[in-house]
Amino acid sequence: MNFKRNILITGGAGFIGSHVVRLFVRKYPDYRIINLDKLTYAGNLANLEDIEQEPNYCFVKADICDFERIYALMQEYRIDGIIHLAAESHVDRSIKDPFTFARTNVMGTLSLLQAAKLYWESLPEKFEGKRFYHISTDEVYGALELTHPEGIEPPFTTTASSSEHHQAYGTDFFYEDTKYNPHSPYSAAKASSDHFVRAYHDTYGLPTIVTNCSNNYGPYQFPEKLIPLFINNIRHRKPLPVYGKGENVRDWLYVEDHARAIDLIFHEGKTAETYNIGGFNEWKNIDLIKVIIATVDRLLGNAEGASLDLITYVTDRAGHDLRYAIDSTKLQKELGWEPSLQFEEGIEKTVRWYLDNQPWMDRITSGEYEKYYEEMYKGR
């Protein structure tokens, strides 16, 4: 079959990547979607069971750091667009093992950039009609102050343009031109990869685009991250390890809204531009945790507040960024994107999904991950 486009999505077996792959496979039957993933601990093909038989989907197990292999795959599949999500993504792991983060996030991105450049330059039309889209994070911008540390009290209502959570904890935001100031090995490695992507545009003319997104939540997230970890722990009546005083603030976006933004920007974003993507939805960790507890208890039929006693304050994460808050006005104004889900709906959907998909969770949390988790919280 002759496909209109051949799109390489890296990290498609991970959390966000699996939502992007699913969206593209279903929405664009005339595109061939090549999901390239190394299947690290975070990669899980069970995330894609519902689309793996589709005729426009294929999976390739490969390491983005393997330049020769990537270059050969670019030729074999005649790749004309790349959406690059593969990365080591967990801040706590980066504190324990920074080398792996530098290797994958920096060298892996460089290997993809060079393979794309060489392959596309070898074609008669060169960079015409090509796109290298790099998915990055708001963490590269560093941390913001809590200028209203008391914030606001739940319950809240949230819409994209008028959210009580917009400016809830401070009036300053990350903008596209905010200076990079990463603090963790994870964000330092992501920042470095962003610089390489922009350098490939400025030096060689590679048609790149970069987006920086806030915290995602939703189905298929690996349960080392706050929301799925806590949902699973509540279900099993395990302690909920709150770092520090639980006062750090994050801006949460439902993962399918991020995937929609990626689709829009891949097709309509301007080459060499940066777009911030965020939910206008800031939450202090401890408030968010209480919402998760209330939702899980309600859906499990537990008495109200039954799981509050699981909250356990533990030693803070080293270098823990206090507040992230993305301003995504540029994306709203230029491309008309906005989050579709109110936070309450998103959390309800997310909790239900994890409770209804316990076998998915059990497969991940048995064995190696359990051991890692015990090690991580030893002494905290």
Residue whose CB is less far from ligand DAU, 178 or 215: 215
Residue of the chain from 57, 222, 343, 354 that contacts ligand NAD (CB under 6 A): 222
Secondary structure of residue 36 in the 3-state scheme: strand
Half-sphere exposure (Cβ direction) of 275: Cα atoms closer than 13 Å: 28
**Residue 216 in contact with ligand NAD, rule: CB under 6 A:** yes
CA distance 131 to 210: 11
Residue 151 makes contact with ligand DAU by CB under 6 A: no
* Token pair of 155 as six digits: 């319950």
The answer to whether 248 contacts ligand DAU (rule: CB under 6 A) is yes
Q: Is 39 in the site for ligand NAD (CB under 6 A)?
A: yes
CA distance 167 to 172: 8
Spatial contact of 108 and 64, defined as CB atoms under 8 Å apart: yes
Catalytic residue (one of 138, 164, 256, 321): 138
Residue from the set 285, 307, 350, 365 that interacts with ligand DAU by CB under 6 A: 285
Q: Report DSSP state, residue 302.
A: P
Catalytic residue among 63, 139, 287, 321: 139
Per CB under 6 A, 269 contacts ligand NAD: no
In the list ligand DAU, ligand NAD, none, the entry touching 242 (Cβ below 5 to 8 angstroms by class) is ligand DAU
Q: Does 17 bind ligand NAD (CB under 6 A)?
A: yes
Pick the closer one to ligand NAD by CB: 137 or 178.
Answer: 137
For the question of residue 138 being annotated catalytic, the response is: yes
Give least dist CB 85 to ligand DAU, A: 10
CB of 112 to ligand NAD, least distance (A): 9
* Contacts of residue 252, Cβ cutoff 8 Å, sequence gap at least 6: 214, 215, 216, 217, 279, 281, 283, 288, 343, 346
The token pair that represents 14 in the structure block: 């991970």
**CA 256 to CA 219: how far, in whole Å?**
9
For ligand DAU (CB under 6 A), the number of binding residues is 19
Q: Name the residue number minimizing CB distance to ligand DAU.
A: 137
| Binding residues among 314-343 for ligand DAU as defined by CB under 6 A | 317, 324
**Residue 158 lies near ligand DAU (rule: CB under 6 A):** no
Distance between CA 380 and CA 370 in Å, rounded? 16
Measured in whole angstroms, the distance separating CA 280 from the mean position of its chain's CA atoms is 16
Total site size for ligand NAD, rule CB under 6 A: 30
Which of 8, 25, 37, 111 forms a contact with ligand NAD (CB under 6 A)? 37
Of 22 and 225, which has the nearer Cβ to ligand DAU? Answer: 225
Minimal CA–CA distance to 219: which of 83, 36, 356, 342? 356
Q: Which window, 47-55, 238-246, 253-261, 364-372, contacts ligand DAU (CB under 6 A)? A: 238-246
Residue 335 exposed, middle or buried by CB count within 10 Å (0-12, 13-18, 19+) = middle
Q: Which of 13, 85, 91, 168 binds ligand DAU (CB under 6 A)?
A: 91
Task: Name residue, tokens 């230029």.
Answer: 334
By CB under 6 A, residue 10 contacts ligand DAU: no
Q: How far is CA 159 from CA 9, 258, 276, 288, 342, in A?
A: 30, 15, 17, 17, 6
**Residue 214 in the binding site for ligand DAU (CB under 6 A):** yes
C-alpha distances (whole Å) from 319 to each of 184, 286, 305, 342 are 7, 18, 32, 31
Q: Which residues bind ligand NAD (CB under 6 A)?
A: 10-11, 13-17, 37-40, 42-43, 63-65, 85-89, 104, 108, 135, 137, 190, 213, 215-216, 222
Task: Cite the active site residues.
Answer: 138-139, 186
Q: Which residues bind ligand DAU (CB under 6 A)?
A: 89-91, 137-139, 214-215, 225-226, 229, 241-243, 248, 250, 285, 317, 324
